[in-house]
Chain A
């Protein structure tokens, strides 16, 4: 009976250790681009002529729910740091962010995407504007691919924390 209890205890420890190691391996590394579009006052003011304004607002709110007061629409007194617009092109690019301050959404992909896919991609592009690079976790907003993700992962948050220190 004592042996059985010891065996169960040992097995339990091994299972917990395995689960812990698995959780470490499935979480990806935080990553930064080395550039961002955040201004000297630690704001990312945006302006847009995009038709995907609902996704833009949802994406802004997703980042703002983690760190508030950074991403906001521009005003008459605050010049935009990034301009969001649409274009049409047959290619694998769903959307792009350039270091000269323009985010472009590709109608070729965006038109038929679900709300979750649009939210993921728009949040992803804001992530680039904040200085975040691509990561490889399945639930990361900053991963590649046309997928639906509606929450920030722990890796996305760690990347944002690291980026914030550079503003």
Chain B
């Protein structure tokens, strides 16, 4: 009886894990739709990235919530008209340390990152020199407050993955010190700014 129960439990477990791993593999195997563009700052200069952003902070990505599709347009393709939107991946994060600005660090909240799986699920849309965030990892994020109070991370070099885990190790890491130094010397842009609804 126990053997039968064991087999009955094992089969769905194996099927589910196979489905999950094949889905993961298929996402990683998708081609990348590349985004390139014009930026108001030099995206290779950390003092400009920090100066232009409203908030720069260390955060742990706790969950990938969903992908939102914005700014739909209808384009002509060889197979007829097709609606294309920009993907934005929503992540749940917990702030570990604020470098610029003061975001709440005692509760999780969502942010949006430009890029993600395309609406037709056929490619990953990403800016040059950019990557999607991974759940469980720590990042230094440069975010822009939107008029509705939400936070957007967008563009090349807007997120920097950290290898260290835990606040004490992170604040003594080379990457963290570089961002702190960049904040001291930030080149602040003159532009209309908004306030995040996640401020302390």
Bound CA span A66–B26, Å: 44
Q: Any chain A CB within 8 A of the CB of B14?
A: no
A48's nearest neighbour on chain B, judged by CB, is B73
Interface size class for chain A?
35 or more
* Total A-B residue contacts, Cβ distance less than 8 Å: 105
Q: Mark B83-119, 1 if CB is under 8 A from A, else 0.
A: 0101000000000000000000000000000100010
Are B41 and A90 touching (Cβ within 8 A)? no
Taking a contact as CB atoms closer than 8 A, the residue among B35, B41, B52 that contacts A96 in the complex is: B35
Docked-complex contact A83 and B145, CB < 8 angstroms: no
Could you say which residues of chain A place their CB within 8 Å of the CB of B125? 98, 100
Which segment of A10-18, A21-29, A101-109, A152-160 sits at the interface?
Answer: A101-109
Contact of B155 among A83, A93, A101, A134 (CB under 8 A): A93
Decide: A90 near B147, CB < 8 A? Known: A125-B37, A144-B39: yes
A121 to B75, CA, bound (A): 22
- B40, B52, B144, B194: most-surrounded residue (chain A CB, <10 A): B40
Interface residues in B25-63 by Cβ distance below 8 A to A read 33-43, 49, 52
| Chain B interface SS verdict (over half) | strand
B84 touches A124 (CB 8 A): no
**Residue interface mask B126-143, A partner, CB < 8 A = 1:** 010000000000000000
Least Cβ–Cβ distance between A3 and chain B, in angstroms: 50
Q: How many residues of B contact A (CB 8 A)?
A: 36
Q: Is the CB of A90 within 8 A of B144?
A: yes
Contacts of A35 in B (CB 8 A): 34
- Taking a contact as CB atoms under 8 Å apart, the answer to whether A92 and B76 are in contact is no
Further pairs besides A104-B71, A128-B36, A144-B38: 12, Cβ < 8 Å: A35-B34, A74-B76, A83-B73, A90-B144, A90-B145, A91-B155, A92-B39, A92-B154, A96-B127, A102-B75, A125-B38, A145-B39
Question: Which of A's residues lie within 8 Å of B, judged by CB?
Answer: 33, 35, 47, 49, 74, 79-80, 83, 85, 87, 89-102, 104, 108-109, 121, 124-125, 128, 133-134, 144-146
A-B contact pairs, 16 of them (CB 8 A): A47-B76, A49-B73, A79-B77, A80-B75, A85-B71, A91-B114, A92-B40, A92-B41, A92-B52, A92-B144, A95-B37, A95-B38, A96-B35, A133-B36, A146-B38, A146-B40
